[in-house]
Amino acid sequence: MKKISIILALLVAAITLVGLFASKFIDSAKFTSVQTSIDSGQGFSFFVISDPHYLSDELHDDKEAFQKFLSYGDKLVHYSGRLIDAVTAEIAREKTDFILVTGDLTCNGEMESHKELAEKFKRIENSGTAVFVVPGNHDVLNPRARQFFENTIWETDYITKDMFADIYGDFGYNEALSRDKRGLSYLAAPSDDVWLLMLDTAIYKDNIKKNNPEVNGILEDSTIEWIKQCSELAKENNAEIIAVMHHSLLDHSELVNLDYTIQNSLEILELFADCDIQIVFTGHIHLQDIKSTSIGDKTIHDIATSSLVVYPNQYGIVTYQPDEGYYYETNRVDMRQYAIDGRIKDKDLLLFEQFSINFFVAHCCESQNQCIAAMDRLTEDELSKVRDTVSKMNMRYFAGLRNEMINDLIDTEGYRIMETLPPCFIRDYINNMLNDEISDHNTYFIPVE
Ligand SMILES: [Fe+2]
């Protein structure tokens, strides 16, 4: 009898153990085995490219309809391919380990643009640098995908969520340790020590029904649960996680944050603090800006890299040194050198900086210019002085410069005229630039904790 009870007890214990093992196995079965190319203890570097907004040359000529489209925006969409090619040459020169692309890969989600961009990324991978992408609000199920010929704008094919994962399979999705079931988020491990949480914050499922692409972003409850599992797995493997997403986690401006910062940012900040996620690379706002905040004893940094197709046409370079931390800096794409190297006789490329400034001033300050034009108590001469000061300040703002880095522009006639005006958006906008947390958002250091 005693023998039977011992056997029974052993059997129960064995079943319990098998059960425990099975439940553990089922949990981790969602994750594929960890394969990295950078060994533990080894430093590495990567580029961060934001909002390249690539438009295929097959989808436009340079005639009336396209010129009109360009004039409504702030993006050098017609040079998006050239800019990516120039960065590709810089990647090959620097031999950076991998690149992160923080969404808005395409102009308006055109299938042709996505396919061609994937070809360009393939060339980057062929030169030895891995590419990891996430979608932005322009990329998936975008009913505004268009082509432009002569004086007519035509619809063109857009892509679905599954097509995105398929087209960019080699750039994150096929090599993921885990994919979130809901959207296009995934976990990747280029290094033993640092893993990438590539998050899909875009909201696209009802875009076609509404005939309007949703601009703002969110991380849904099911994705939050998946992030917790990713964090556990990373901790089990002694890896640290950095996050990458299109929308802002922190407000990058007190005035302009609606539709830019994800809807549930406070909840996600708490989540990141619990999961020890200290750094998030973002895009979307098209300006160079870094913000940080404390949650309990943790500090979380949101590094927004400005859009590749907007002045000053730059990208981020991050150097990671174990036991030290992350060094972030920006680098402006050298389009002039790219044109010289490729013997391209395009004067806009050979004088690219000035060309990009002219385009920025003419198009990017449109909303500010409208505000200035409404100041009917000013003379034409005064208006032009205000316009001049505001566009120069805005250029520096987009380039990541604040406070004393724009102080010289306070000493202008345009600024003095603005100070005499009653409270208005443009004055608040400028004051915001002059009272920021940091002065230069182009270099940043985050120590390891
Ligand atoms: Fe964008």
- At 45, list the tokens: 């570097």
Residue 28's pLDDT is: 42
CA of 242 to the centre of ligand 1 (A): 21
CA of 310 to the centre of ligand 1 (A): 10
CA of 307 to the centre of ligand 1 (A): 7
CA of 160 to the centre of ligand 1 (A): 18
Task: Tell me the pLDDT tens digit for each residue of 38-64.
Answer: 999 999 999 999 999 999 999 999 999
CA of 285 to the centre of ligand 1 (A): 7
33 vs 5: CA distance, rounded Å = 41
CA of 234 to the centre of ligand 1 (A): 30
Task: Tell me the pLDDT tens digit for each residue of 349-374.
Answer: 999 999 999 999 888 766 677 777 77
| pLDDT for residue 156 is more than 90 | yes
CA of 402 to the centre of ligand 1 (A): 22
Minimum mean pLDDT range among 75-79, 192-196, 213-217, 358-362: 358-362
> CATH assignment of 34-338?
3.60.21.10
Residue 30's pLDDT is: 61
| pLDDT for residue 429 is more than 90 | no
CA of 51 to the centre of ligand 1 (A): 5
- Closest C-alpha to 53, from 246, 186, 194: 246
CA of 237 to the centre of ligand 1 (A): 35
DSSP string across 188-206? E-SBSSEEEEEE--B--TT
- Closest C-alpha to 28, from 220, 234, 183, 194: 234
CA of 246 to the centre of ligand 1 (A): 9
Amino acid in the structure at residue 123: R
Q: How is residue 403 annotated by DSSP?
A: G
CA of 53 to the centre of ligand 1 (A): 7
